[in-house]
Structure 1
Amino acid sequence: MTSTPEVEFLADHSALLAIPAFAPAIAVVGVVVWIAMRDRLRGDDEDDDLHSDSPASSGEDGTP
């Protein structure tokens, strides 16, 4: 009679070892996405002021 040896896994550490490698990358991606979303929401108001033809935006006060 041949019996196959029974293998018992006591612990699996591969996920624990991967956390330090991926955590900084995930944090950087989160910060970049947060800054991009913040700038996109603010960007609509600021672009109108920069590209308008009003005297205040071109540096002229309109006096003769």
Structure 2
Amino acid sequence: LVPNPADDVFILTIDRALTGEVRVMDLAGRVALTVPLAVDRARIPTAGLNAGTYLVEVVDRNG
């Protein structure tokens, strides 16, 4: 994830191409944001997120 911390957006890059989604969750496990993932990169906007610490989960289309 870059940049960390992020102001407007962060970029997630993974080491292989896949199709699925990226889930951004708060520390209680509530999903705050879901973004489609295609190929090996996702652009994740942070404008709607409150300041804090979040977990990021990558889920491919097969679960």
The alignment's TM-score, normalised by the length of structure 2, stands at: 0.13
Question: Does 1 or 2 have the higher relative contact order (CA < 8 Å, sep 6+)?
Answer: 2
TM-score computed with the length of structure 1 as normaliser: 0.13
Question: Which structure has greater helix proportion?
Answer: 1
